[in-house]
Amino acid sequence: MKQQLNGKNWYFPALVGGAAVLAVMMSGCSSNRSAGGGGGGGTPPAPDTRFSSVVQQSGGIVSSSAIAGVANAVAVSGSGNNDIVVQSSDASVNDITVTASYNDDGTISYVVRSTVGDWTFNSGDPGTGVSVLSRRKAEGWNAISLLLETDAGRRWVDVYTDIEPPTGDPPTPDTDYLSGGIWVYVPKKATAFSEYEFGVFVHGSDPFDNDNLAGLTGTAKYEGDASGLYSDPGSDSNAFFSAMAELTANFEDSGAGSETISGRIHSFMIGGKDVMDLELMLGEADLTAAAPPGTGLFTGTTSATYDDGDFAGKWGGRFYGDGENDDDQPGSVAGTFGAADDDDRTFIGVFGAHRQSDN
């Protein structure tokens, strides 16, 4: 069975000039990643600030109402894409995939695609209208910012991955990594905020075999990190947060609805300030009610109280990290979440947590 260890920090860079400059550090789950972060543990690479001007030149920023739409959207996983979790202001975009692979020169090629959205970013073969804005690297981390410009608007995607270089002789590629991030679409001549597109996603190369869920027993505790965006329409700018994630899965089948997962996002730091009394609850989700069937996607509702506001929204996730045996519990869990109040103050984010060894 693969040894699952605490993962890396997830990271959302600071907001620049009111524009949504957002990226996610993904937590890995492969057996060659060391305790305390494996491929991570270093200072995350800074985001590409040119996206700020991309948004401003397009006539405005991603609106608070669009961000609130993400918080209230049901997390989805497109049929046949059971290694993805997406939470988006456009519910039809449910099929984002990300692959990463090392080139002979040590660089990484990224392919980010949505068939439904009819867009593809291929850093190895950018094509017409696609620009590689930046490549960033820190200890254990690699990231890329890509921009697709058309007559209608600009689509930006920022992707982080924890893929590790090939090892052994002959070299064997890392096949157990997570990638994910954010995409934003800004129309050049927007007539309504609904024309903006905003979303977060998680994609794993080693999804848990959902056919094994029925044979699992016991409980598992998962701990890790969360990051995201806090949007306040009454403020001049938005703020990014970091937090801790804690979830508990019950795999015991003691009757209908007994196999569940729930948790909380806690120990928030918002805009660099500790908000220790804030807890965003990830309500109980039924592990046997995956929709679409076979995807392993579980969904639930969120709730929180913050700054005199009552927040509610949606969350979703799935398991990653297959074991060697059919009855091995999943090594990690990752997903998306959001919550908004009546004034469109909104939290949206991504979490990654790893099974603790003392279960």
Q: Per-residue pLDDT tens for 291-328?
A: 767 778 999 999 999 999 999 999 999 998 888 888 99
Q: How far apart are CA 243 and CA 230, in angstroms?
A: 12
The Cα 209–Cα 320 span in angstroms is 8
pLDDT of residue 37: 31
Could you report the per-residue pLDDT of 80-99, keeping only the tens digit for each? 555 889 898 887 787 888 89
Contact present, 319 and 27 (Cβ < 8 Å): no
pLDDT in tens, 181-192: 778 788 877 776
* Best mean pLDDT range from 5-9, 26-30, 191-195: 191-195
**8-12, 170-174, 202-206: range with lowest mean pLDDT:** 8-12
Beta strands (DSSP E) in 82-218 are 84-88, 97-102, 108-114, 119-122, 130-138, 141-149, 153-161, 178-187, 197-204
What confidence score (pLDDT) does residue 213 get?
85
- N- to C-terminal Cα separation, the chain: 14
What does the DSSP 8-state code read for residue 45?
P
Give the full edge-to-edge strand order of the sheet including 141-149: 84-88, 197-204, 178-187, 153-161, 141-149, 130-138
pLDDT at 342 over 80: yes
C-alpha pair distances (Å), 197 with each of 183, 222, 233, 256: 8, 31, 17, 38
Which pLDDT does position 3 carry in this prediction?
32
pLDDT tens, residue by residue, 237-284: 667 777 889 999 999 876 666 899 999 999 998 878 899 899 999 999
Distance CA 22, CA 114 (A): 19
The most confident of the ranges 85-99, 133-147, 182-196, 223-237 is 85-99
How many Cβ atoms sit within 10 Å of the Cβ of residue 102? 17
Counting every residue written for the chain, the total comes to: 359
